[in-house]
């Protein structure tokens, strides 16, 4: 018997959206209904998933769709991600946690709503990830580390044991940290943080 998958709206059609689509397809939990952009006609369909509206249509679309997910990235600023996440919450959308089946997330870790865990990321025992975060491909969150809300942990970053990443931070690709430290703000790619 074929499982019926819930439909989900993706909010934002840029490069990050492409990566999230691949994770959703691999996870096989949702059927992508379509993509929402800021303005009508702003971009084109992605991987044959149509643009079905703009941000101003979300209230009307909520009558038909229960699930939505923010697929805007976070490099220079996360302000758009936060604004869209809050708008979806205000409209009473259900914002799931999306975890690639190619990632490892310990049963003793927690990952909150609106967060995506990309392919080959590793979230170890006792780690906690907040709301509306991006844990990008091959990122490592070691035991007892914590990532607060609205953060982006970039590709191949390594957060060692008991590291705390404060809310709204960006940890660049290939960052490696010492254990037990606190990170806040913008951490440049390739940094060794002690």
Looking at residue 157, which CATH number applies to its domain? 2.160.10.10
Q: Kindly state the greatest CA–CA separation across the chain.
A: 53
- The answer to the question of residue 179 being in a domain is yes
Gap between the Cα atoms of 136 and 138, Å rounded:
6
Pair 109, 180 in one domain: yes
- Of 58, 90, 122, the residue that ends a domain is 90
Name the domain boundary from 90, 118, 140: 90
**102 and 48 in a common domain:** no
Task: Give the β-pairing of 110-111 and 128-129.
Answer: parallel
Query: What's 18's domain CATH number?
Result: 3.40.50.20
Q: Does residue 11 sit in the same domain as residue 77?
A: yes
- The total number of structural domains in the chain stands at 2
- Spell 116-144 as b/e; 16+ CB within 10 A means b: bbbebbbbbebbbbbbbbbbbbbbbbbbb
Residue-number span of the structural domain to which 157 is assigned: 98-188
Is residue 1 in some structural domain? no
Q: Are 147 and 166 in contact (CB under 8 A)?
A: no
Tell whether 62 and 128 lie within a shared domain.
no
130 and 158 fall within a common domain = yes
Q: Is residue 104 located within the same domain as residue 85?
A: no
Asked if residues 67 and 94 have their Cβ atoms less than 8 Å apart, the reply is yes
Based on the fold, state whether residues 43 and 71 are members of the same structural domain.
yes
> Would you write out the chain's pLDDT as a tens digit for each of its 194 residues?
567 789 999 999 888 999 999 999 999 999 999 999 886 655 677 888 999 998 999 999 999 999 999 999 987 789 999 999 999 999 999 999 999 999 999 999 999 999 999 999 999 999 999 999 999 999 999 999 999 999 999 999 999 999 999 999 999 999 999 999 999 999 999 999 99
């Amino acid at each position: 018997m074929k499982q019926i998958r819930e439909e989900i709206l993706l909010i934002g059609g840029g490069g990050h959206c492409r990566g999230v689509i691949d994770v959703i397809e691999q996870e096989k939990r949702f059927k992508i209904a379509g993509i929402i952009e800021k303005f009508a006609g702003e971009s084109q369909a992605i991987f044959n998933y149509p643009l079905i509206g703009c941000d101003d249509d979300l209230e009307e679309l909520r009558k038909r769709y229960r699930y939505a997910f923010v697929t805007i990235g976070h490099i220079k600023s996360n302000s758009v991600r936060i604004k869209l996440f809050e708008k979806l919450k205000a409209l009473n959308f259900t914002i799931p946690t999306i975890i690639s089946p190619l990632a490892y997330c310990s049963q003793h870790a927690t990952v909150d709503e609106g967060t995506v865990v990309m392919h080959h990321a590793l979230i170890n025992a006792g780690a906690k990830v907040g709301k509306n975060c991006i844990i990008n491909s091959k990122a490592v969150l070691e035991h007892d580390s914590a990532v607060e809300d609205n953060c982006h942990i970039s590709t191949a970053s390594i957060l060692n044991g008991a590291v705390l990443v404060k809310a709204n931070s960006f940890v660049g690709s290939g960052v490696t940290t010492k254990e037990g430290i606190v990170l806040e703000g913008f951490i440049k790619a390739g940094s060794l943080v002690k």
